[in-house]
A and B are shown apart, each in its own frame.
Chain A
Amino acid sequence: MRFDINAFFGPWQFWPLRHPGIEDVLRLMDRHGIDHAAITSLRGLYGERREANAETLAAARAHGDRLTPLAVLSPMNGGGAAELRALAGQGFRGVRLYPLLHAYRLYDPFADEVCEAAAELHIPAIVCTRPMMNFRFATYPIEEVGALAERHPAAQFILSGPNYLTEFRAAVIVMQRCPNVAIELTCMQALEALRRTAEAVGAHRVLFGTGMPLHYPACNVAKLTSAKVSDTVREAVSAGNARRMLGL
C-alpha cells in the first residue's frame, strides 16, 4: 500500500497546474499506485485557511476511502487551539503549519498553543519548511522545529520540506535529539534519501510524500521503489508510518 502524506488540490497562483482538481489528483493517485492520500487545499497556503479547511473536508468526505483531511492553522483571525479542536471533531487527522507563509515563528505562543492541543487530540503537526521543492521559495530553519518539538514532547511532529546537504544534516540532528519528530521525503533529493534517512533516524519515522499535483508523483514513487531496504522498511515508509501517526 502507498499512503501519500503530502498531497494537495486547487489552483496554484504561480503557474497553472495540469492536475488541480480533486478528481485530477485521484487520477494521479491511480496512475502511480497511490492508494490513499492526506490532502490539503492549496488555498490554505497563501489564501484563507477557513475556506481552505472547508474545501479540504468536503473533498475528503466525498472520497473517504481514498483521502484523509489535513487542516491548516495560522494565528490570523484567532486561529488556535479551539479551532484545532473543532477541526479534529470534524474529522481532520493532522494540522499543517506554514510559519514562513503565515507571518509567525515557531517560538510564537500560537505554535505552542496549537502543539499542546495537537498532543491532546493525538494528531500530528506537520511543519512545512518550504511549500514545494522549487528554489524560488524560501525555507524555514529546521532548528526551530527542533526547539518546538523539545517544548512539546507529547506531540508528534512531521517535518515536511527538507532537501539535501545542510538541510538533511540539520533534520537528522533534530530528529536524533527529538524522538517525537518524523520526516516526510517529498523534497529530499539526495542520493538514496530513503535508506540514508531511515538508517539515520529509524524507518518508523520516515514517511512517503509526493507534493502532488505541484510535483511529479513519479519522482517520489521512484524513491520508494529504488530504495535498497527490506520489505518491512519499505512498507513502513510507504504507508504504515503515516497510518499510525494519523491514527487510522
Chain B
Amino acid sequence: MVIDGHVHIGTSQFLQIDATADMLIALADEVGVDRLFVTHVTALWHDMREGNDQLGAELARHGDRLFGYATIPSPRYGAAAVAEVRRCVERYGVRGIKLYSHPEAPLTEAWTYPVLETAAELGLMVLGHLTPDECDHLLRRVPDVKLVMAHMAGQPYAFGNWHLAVEVAERHANLYLDTATSQMDDGMLEHAVERLGPERILFGSDMPLLDPWVQRAKVEAAAISAEAKRLILGGNLERLLGL
C-alpha cells in the first residue's frame, strides 16, 4: 500500500492551492497512491475549527482513502488547541496533528508541549513544519511523541539542511522524516536510510503544492533496497497507524 503522509486540502491564497478531496483522490489514482493523510489549509492558516470541520466532512465521504490530521494554526491557542485535538479525535477519528512553525509563532514555545503531550497520550502522530533544532528542542521535552519533521528540513526556515535533519533524528528514536520537499538533492534519501534505517522515513508529496509524480520518483529512483522503498512509500505508516 502506498500512503502519502503529507497532503493539503482546501483553498489557500498563501499556498496558492485550491484542492477538493475528489481532485486529490483522482490525482492519487493517477500516481498510484492508495491513501492520503490530509491537513486542511483553512485550519492551518485561518480558523482551526472551521477547517477541521470541513476536513471532517471529507473524511466522512472518503473514509476509505483519507486519513485526517487535526490541524492547529498555533499552540498559542492553549487549552483551546488541546480541546480541538480531542474534539477532532472523538468526532472525526483523526490519526494525527499538523503543526506549522514559523517566525511569527515558533513551536519552540512552551505552548506546544501540552499539544504534543496530548498527541502522545492519544497515540497521534504529529506532522510538524519544523526545523531540526526545533525538533530536537521539542523531543527533549516530550520524548514520547511520534514527531514527523515535515520536509526533512527541505524548507526555507530550515535552510534545506537535510544533513542536520538526519543528525537530529539519530538522537531521537521518535523522530521521523517526511520526504515531501522541493529539494531533490541526489543522495539525501540514501544518506537518511544509511544513518537511520528506512523505518523512520515517510513518503509525502505536499500535493497539490508540489507534484506527486516528482515526489514519488525521488523515492523510486533512490539507490536503496526494494524493501526500504516499500517501507518509505507506505509500510512505515501502515505500521504506525496500525493498519
Interface of A toward B, CB cutoff 8 Å: 15, 17-19, 32, 132-137, 163-165, 187, 189-193, 212-223, 225-226
Contacts and interface: CB of A to CB of B under 8 A. Distances in A.
A134 B16 CA distance: 21
Given A19-B186, A165-B16, A216-B186, A223 B210 contact: no
A134 B220 contact: no
B224 interface: no
Contacts of B163: 15
A17 B186 contact: yes
A222 B220 CA distance: 11
A159 B181 CA distance: 22
Interface string B158-175: 111101000000000000
A226 to B, nearest CB: 4
A223 B160 contact: no
A164 B209 contact: yes
Interface of B: 15-16, 154-156, 158-161, 163, 182-187, 190, 207-214, 216-218, 220-223
A215 B186 contact: yes
Nearest to B154: A135
B210 A191 contact: yes
Given A216-B221, A218-B220, A18 B214 contact: no
B50 to A, nearest CB: 24
B185 A135 contact: no
A18 B187 contact: yes
A164 B163 CA distance: 24
24 contacts: A15-B163, A15-B187, A17-B186, A18-B187, A18-B223, A135-B154, A135-B182, A135-B183, A164-B209, A164-B210, A165-B15, A189-B211, A190-B211, A191-B208, A192-B211, A214-B185, A214-B186, A215-B184, A216-B184, A218-B217, A219-B217, A221-B217, A222-B211, A222-B217
Given A17-B187, A216-B186, A135 B158 contact: yes
A147 B208 CA distance: 32
Contacts of A217: 186, 221
Contacts of A134: 154, 160, 183, 185
B221 A218 contact: yes
A162 to B, nearest CB: 11
A137 B156 CA distance: 9
